[in-house]
């Protein structure tokens, strides 16, 4: 495993698609963040990440993609998360170790705040991952596993997004979005279809500085 003392930073984009109705009460409700009951009872959320530029110590992470899923049986803040991580198969061994360290929260940064909530790691796989960013649309594909796409929610300005501030641990502001048809994830004996359900996307700038 990569050294926990390494300095790292990544700049890129992320999006997510969960099974909550729009808008997700886990993030936006009268209650404290992550304390509301998900609209479907359990939370089932999938994420796609693209790193425009990044490094972990002397390891370059430019251009790599990551997929991740998380499931909680109730309010996210109560823990008992089950997670799975998908690493870009183009990454060499050092890059994969760095990505795993960052996205499991073992080396600081935003994921370290969520790591204590995780009780089960379903697995870590190196797979082909395709990430697309097109205007107000984001999509990711892992063949036979993850096919996700979200687009911005409509608002009174057809050329702009609606942004929510200070609601998400991944970014200061996240765009409000919705999952497109056939947004699915299938693995580890589970199948999710989050079509028409809540989504977000945002640029990210993470580090352990």
Tokens of 70: 């998380």
Smallest CA-to-CA distance from 115 within 153, 85, 137 is with: 85
Task: Read off the pLDDT of residues 133-158 as tens digits, 9 standing for 90 and up.
Answer: 999 999 999 999 999 999 999 999 98
Q: Domain residue spans in the chain?
A: 8-204
Say what the pLDDT of residue 1 is: 42
Over residues 5-64, the pLDDT tens digits come to 799 999 999 999 999 999 999 999 999 999 999 999 999 999 999 999 999 999 999 999
| pTM (2 d.p.) | 0.95
Say if CB 179 and CB 197 are below 8 A apart.
yes
Q: Is 14 exposed, middle or buried (0-12, 13-18, 19+ CB in 10 A)?
A: buried
Per DSSP, the three-state class of 100 is helix
Q: Distance between terminal CA atoms of the chain? A: 20
**pLDDT digits 0-9 by tens, 59-116:** 999 999 999 999 999 999 999 999 999 999 999 999 999 999 999 999 999 999 999 9
Question: What is the Cα 39 distance to its own chain's centre?
Answer: 19
Structural contact between residues 191 and 185, judged by C-beta atoms closer than 8 angstroms: yes
Q: Which of 76, 80, 56 is nearest to 66 (CA)?
A: 56
| CA pair distance 126, 87, nearest whole angstrom | 5
Integer Cα distance of 89 and 65 in angstroms: 9
């Amino acid at each position: 495993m990569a050294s926990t003392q390494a300095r790292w930073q990544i700049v890129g984009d992320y999006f997510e698609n969960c099974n909550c109705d729009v808008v997700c009460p886990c993030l936006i409700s009268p209650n404290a963040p992550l304390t509301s009951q998900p609209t479907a009872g359990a939370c089932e959320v999938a994420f796609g990440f693209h790193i425009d530029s990044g490094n972990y110590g002397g390891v370059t992470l430019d251009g790599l993609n990551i997929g991740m899923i998380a499931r909680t049986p109730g309010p996210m803040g109560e823990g008992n998360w089950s997670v799975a991580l998908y690493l870009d198969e183009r990454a060499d061994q050092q890059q994969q170790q760095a990505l795993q360290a960052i996205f499991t929260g073992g080396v600081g940064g935003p994921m370290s705040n969520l790591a204590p909530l995780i009780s089960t790691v379903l697995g870590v796989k190196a797979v082909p991952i395709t990430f697309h960013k097109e205007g107000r649309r984001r999509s990711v594909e892992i063949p036979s596993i993850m096919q996700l796409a979200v687009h911005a929610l409509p608002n009174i300005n057809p050329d702009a997004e609606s942004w929510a501030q200070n609601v998400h641990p991944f970014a200061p502001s996240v765009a409000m979005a919705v999952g497109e048809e056939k947004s699915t994830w299938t693995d580890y004996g589970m199948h999710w279809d989050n079509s028409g359900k809540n989504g977000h996307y945002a640029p990210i700038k993470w580090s352990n500085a």
